[in-house]
Structure 1
């Protein structure tokens, strides 16, 4: 970036070319950062829309009932997790093209698993929750992108919160406690709201490490996956509050 505090950048006439080069460099970095972040958001939004289209299509066609009445439902529920783990631990080994293919496969499988929400909640309440989540996600991501506050200290706390949510959810499968369900949903919304801002800031910072390298395409796909997970989890937890049951 240009050094705006350097008095040499205000020179005019002969000797002013370093300023021009510095300004051009700053503009190039800003343009590169915008393209990088827009690519992440485009992949993420496309993945969410693909999942939504698959879920709605299966429900409207009646195929969703057949799928979830068969043993295939276990494969549908577990496959997205398997893909996330493979992408997370194998990102360095896979090519950018392979990661993109896995991301689209993950989006389709997530859409298939999300078909179940149409069995439980009314269509209008699902739509209202989706748009509420989209608005909250946009605001939180914008905050993470623009804030000067370092959010890195939140990372460990938020990841521990996710682990706690998983443990509490498993326990509640046996307890069937309504109170614990509401507590998990409330904390889930807060945790994934925090992760949205945190992940956005981390992705922005990561750009300066990977720009101009072969890793940038991989980081874009993995960044889209992170934001997709933040969005979809926040949506599902928020649906517990806003969703009207059939």
Structure 2
């Protein structure tokens, strides 16, 4: 039996809205990635203190998006763009260090990230199984991973950085699948900027974890 399709008074189906949401979200992700690249280029020589301030400002943009989403889509999109630029500035010194140590690792991490996001994103978008549990468990797992990262700063654990990166990729495999399923399960186009922020964060963190693996910095 074919799947029923609901029509609005304007004749637009929920399926049409979902496709529009997917397209808009991916456009926002691409735009945020472009602004991230600009920020990373401009912040190549940024001092560590300014990088930290840029990170805090980027985090403030994310928080602001949650409030702006209830009032203005334009403001939400603007904050998303600001987040992309600022997080690019914040991450720039880290990317420069990796590039100086092993430039090839950047390309390897980029390629691996593209395959990772495409694979787990497609799986999440296609499956009919409810993945909301992955979102809840993944959020708590990230908190635990952050705690483990703090421990690594003060305690020398054999292959600790390697374990940290692999655990991070496992967690983001679930979160990526969940975020892409949210795209299919919604027809509210106003949610596109917030979904784009979530997916961009998936991409960025997966890239950084792969960068750590391919650069050889996980030997400690």
TM-score between the two structures when normalised by the length of structure 2: 0.85
C-alpha deviation, 1:50, in angstroms = 2.3
Q: Distance in 2 between matches of 1:100 and 1:27?
A: 24
Per the alignment, residue 229 of structure 1 pairs with 201
Q: Do structure 1's residue 4 and structure 2's residue 2 form an aligned pair?
A: yes
List alignment gaps of at least 5 residues for structure 2: none
Per the alignment, residue 138 of structure 2 pairs with 158
Paired residue for 1:73, among 51, 60, 64? 51
Per the alignment, residue 43 of structure 1 pairs with 28
RMSD of the TM alignment (CA)? 2.6
Preserved CA contact (<8 Å) 2:18 2:183? no
C-alpha deviation, 1:4, in angstroms = 3.2
1:11-160 → structure 2 map (5 Å cutoff): 28-55=13-40, 57-58=41-42, 64-65=44-45, 67-68=46-47, 71-88=49-66, 90-115=67-92, 116-121=94-99, 122-160=102-140
C-alpha deviation, 1:119, in angstroms = 1.6
Paired residue for 1:240, among 189, 212, 216? 212
List alignment gaps of at least 5 residues for structure 1: 7-18, 211-215
- Higher-Rg structure is 1
Q: Distance in 2 between matches of 1:142 and 1:73?
A: 34
Preserved CA contact (<8 Å) 2:68 2:75? no
Q: Distance in 1 between matches of 2:3 and 2:183?
A: 27
CA deviation string 1:89-113 (max 9, x = no partner)? x245441111111100100011112
